[in-house]
């Protein structure tokens, strides 16, 4: 009996250790494919919101290129990005919610940092499809990176900068045949608490991405 009890304790400890090791784990993304894609005018003509998704996981290639297109570093010397930001604050962080867990995109190293394991996709919006979309991007503004100004102005600039990033996502998806829709209907308080955001961080929008429903 005592041996069985010790074995159970050992298994519990092993599971907790494994979870602890995953938190903060860094995943190196593939090099983004920047030489592909279709002509811009055709992509603009096919840009649209799609709310029905296949359950198929996004490929490593698409995840890498999607995040780089959204807000990756396109000028290494200056560290500037594929989307503009007011005063070059780069105050918007992209969190990636999947069935496996929550991740933070680190543009400087083109990596994903594991924040925690667990599926919180259903918390990223009020629509039914968000829980099934393979990827939900959560755009979070860090007000501590912005100059001393009113909350109203910070709200305005962070919303505008998120809009630029979101459009980059739309264009990548149109180019590669992916489905996407940006969403403002989010319970920001509940989501921020679950994501363990700091006081200066604000959820702005969310955007679902995946392959179109077949």
Q: What is the DSSP string of 97-112?
A: E-SSEEEEEETTTTEE
In this structure, is residue 169 part of a structural domain? yes
State the chain's mean pLDDT as an integer: 91
User: What are the beta bridge partners of residue 55?
Assistant: none
In this structure, is residue 134 part of a structural domain? yes
In this structure, is residue 39 part of a structural domain? yes
In this structure, is residue 36 part of a structural domain? yes
In this structure, is residue 2 part of a structural domain? no
Radius of gyration of the chain (CA): 19
pLDDT band at 20 (very low <50, low <70, confident <90, very high): very low
209 Cβ contact list (under 8 Å, min separation 6):
58, 66, 133, 134, 135, 136, 137, 169, 173, 178, 179, 180
pLDDT band at 120 (very low <50, low <70, confident <90, very high): very high
Averaged pLDDT for residues 137-161 = 96
Averaged pLDDT for residues 31-52 = 94
pLDDT band at 18 (very low <50, low <70, confident <90, very high): very low
The pTM for the full model equals 0.88
In this structure, is residue 158 part of a structural domain? yes
pLDDT band at 37 (very low <50, low <70, confident <90, very high): confident
| CATH assignment at residue 125 | 3.40.109.10
In this structure, is residue 8 part of a structural domain? no
pLDDT tens profile 68-99: 999 999 999 999 999 999 999 999 999 999 99
Tally of structural domains, the chain: 1
Per the structure, the complete domain to which residue 103 belongs is given by 25-210
In this structure, is residue 155 part of a structural domain? yes
pLDDT band at 1 (very low <50, low <70, confident <90, very high): low
- Please tell me the predicted confidence (pLDDT) of residue 2: 56
């Amino acid at each position: 009996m005592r041996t069985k009890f010790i074995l159970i304790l050992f298994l519990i400890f092993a599971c907790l250790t494994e979870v602890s090791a995953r938190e903060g784990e860094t995943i190196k993304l593939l090099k983004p494919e920047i030489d592909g894609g279709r002509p811009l005018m055709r992509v603009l003509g096919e840009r649209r919101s799609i709310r029905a998704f296949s359950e198929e996981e996004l490929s490593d290639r698409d995840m890498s290129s999607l995040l780089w297109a959204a807000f990756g570093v396109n000028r290494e010397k200056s560290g500037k990005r594929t989307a503009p930001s007011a005063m070059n604050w780069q105050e918007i962080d992209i969190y990636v919610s999947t069935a496996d867990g929550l991740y933070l995109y680190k543009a400087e190293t083109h990596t994903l940092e594991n924040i925690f394991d667990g599926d919180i996709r259903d918390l990223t919006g009020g629509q039914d499809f968000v829980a099934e979309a393979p990827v939900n991007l959560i755009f979070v503004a860090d007000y501590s990176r912005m100059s001393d100004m009113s909350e109203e102005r910070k709200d305005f600039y962070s919303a505008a900068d998120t809009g630029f990033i979101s459009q980059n996502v739309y264009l990548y998806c149109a180019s590669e045949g992916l489905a996407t829709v940006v969403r403002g209907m989010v319970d920001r308080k509940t989501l921020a608490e679950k994501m363990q955001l700091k006081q200066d961080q604000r959820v702005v929008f969310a955007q679902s991405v995946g392959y179109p429903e077949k």
